Copies of this chain bind each other. A is one copy, B any other.
Amino acid sequence: MRVDLAAADRRALVSATVLTDAVATILEACDVLAGDARLAADCLVEADLRGVESHGVSNLLAVYVQGIRDRHINPRPDVRVVRERPGSATLDGDGGLGGVVAVGAMDLAIDKAREVGVGVVVVNNSRHLGMAAYHAMRALDHGMIGVCSTACGPRVLPTFGAEPRLGTNPIAVAAPAGRRDAFVFDAATTTVAMNKIRLAQRDGTTLPGGVIADARGIPIMTPTEVPDGFQMLHLGATYDLGSHKGYGLAAAVDILGTVLSGSRLLGEVGTGFNNHTLIAMDIEAFTDLAGFEASMDRYLDWLNECAPAPGEERVLYAGQPEAEIRTVRSVEGIPVRLEVLDELEALGREVGAEVELTMSAGA
C-alpha cells in the first residue's frame, strides 16, 4: 500500500485483499456470518476495482451497517424458496443484505441453467444488492450469460408525471468473450445516477439540459444548477426524446422483481426495499461456447473499430472501461481517500471490529 501525495485529496492505494478483509471484518462484527460477510465485501470491493465508486465501499458500507443496526437489514436471513420449477424459482430474501441474497439467487439460476438451459429467479423482501453487474458477471465463469435487475423504491418521475413512481431500477447483462474482456452492461433506467446529481448540487456545478426536472416535474432542458426539490428523469428525459422508453423499462424491472415475486408494491412500503431478478442462460444450450466466444471477440472488435465522431477519442463497449480500470487497480491497488480510511476505522471501532488501514497506508 502506498500513499499518493500528488492527488488533490490525498489517497492511498489499498489492495483489494486488504480492503475486502476490512469490510468483511466489520460486517462480521455486525453479526453477519463469515461467508456472507466475505461475499458482501467482495461485491463492494469489486465495484471499487472496476471504478464504480458509487457502488463501492466508501459509499455503501456505512449504509449497510446502519441498516443492520436499525434492524432494516437482517444480518442472518433465512432465505427461503417460495416456489420452484426446474427453470424458475421465487425466493424470500428475509431482509438480508441484497448483495448476498442476490449471489444465492444467481447461483440457483446458474444451477437451473445447467440443467434446463436457462434459469430465472425472482427475489422479494431483499435489500440493496450493490452493483447489479456483480451478480450478472457471476454467470461468466460458468460459460453463461447473466442478467440482473433490481427494483428500488420510487424516486423517478414517469413520463408526463410530477411525482416519483419508479425506482432507478438498473439492468445488467454480462456475456463472456474469448480474448476480449467480457461485455458487461449495467445501467440505471434514469438519465444519470443520483450520485452525479448530488455531487453537482454539493459543488454548485452545472448539469446539462435533459438530466433532471424541477420540483414541479418539468424537465429542465438547458444547462442548470441543481435546484432544491429537483426530480429524477427516466432515460430519454422527455417524451420527445424517448423518456417513455426508460420509464417502460423501469416498469418492466418492477413487474419482474416486485409483482412476479409476489412482493408488496414498492410504492406501498417504506424506502430501502428491493426485489431482484436474476437470469442465467447456459451458452452451450444454444450454441457452441467456443464459437460464441470467437463471435463475441469479432463483435467487440468491430464495435471498437468504429470511427469516432469528430472530437471523440474512441468507441467503447459496455464493461470495457471498467475492465481497463480493473486491470490497473488489481495490480496497483484501489485509490481510497485517506478520509475514507479513517471513516472505515471509526466504523470498525463503533461495531467492535479491529480494522487498521491508515497505519498500513503509512499515513
Contacts and interface: CB of A to CB of B under 8 A. Distances in A.
B191 A255 contact: no
A292 B260 contact: yes
A282 interface: yes
Interface residues of A, number: 97
A184 to B, nearest CB: 9
Contact of A235 (B245, B260, B313, B316): B245
B261 A286 contact: yes
A16 B204 CA distance: 57
B90 A313 contact: no
A117 B86 contact: yes
A230 interface: no
A363 B33 CA distance: 78
A147 to B, nearest CB: 8
A242 B191 CA distance: 5
A64 to B, nearest CB: 26
A283 B310 contact: no
A298 B211 contact: no
A89 B87 CA distance: 13
Contact of A236 (B216, B236, B256, B285): B236
Interface in A33-59: none
B192 A307 contact: no
A203 interface: no
Interface string A289-325: 0011001101100110011111111111110000000
Contact of A117 (B85, B165, B216, B295): B85
A349 B87 CA distance: 50
A267 B252 CA distance: 29
Ranked 7 nearest A-B pairs via Cβ: A88-B117, A85-B117, A217-B309, A87-B116, A185-B248, A262-B287, A87-B87
Given A145-B256, A185-B251, 12 more contacts: A85-B116, A85-B117, A87-B117, A88-B286, A116-B116, A160-B314, A163-B306, A217-B308, A236-B236, A244-B318, A256-B281, A260-B286
Interface of A: 82-83, 85-90, 112-113, 115-120, 122, 145, 157-163, 165, 171, 173, 175, 183, 185, 187-192, 208, 210-211, 213, 216-218, 235-238, 240-242, 244-249, 251-252, 254-256, 258-262, 265, 267, 281-283, 285-288, 291-292, 295-296, 298-299, 302-303, 306-318
28 contacts: A86-B86, A86-B87, A87-B118, A88-B117, A90-B287, A118-B118, A118-B119, A122-B286, A145-B260, A158-B306, A158-B317, A160-B312, A162-B307, A162-B309, A173-B255, A185-B251, A185-B252, A189-B245, A211-B241, A216-B309, A237-B241, A242-B246, A248-B318, A260-B292, A261-B286, A261-B287, A265-B298, A267-B302
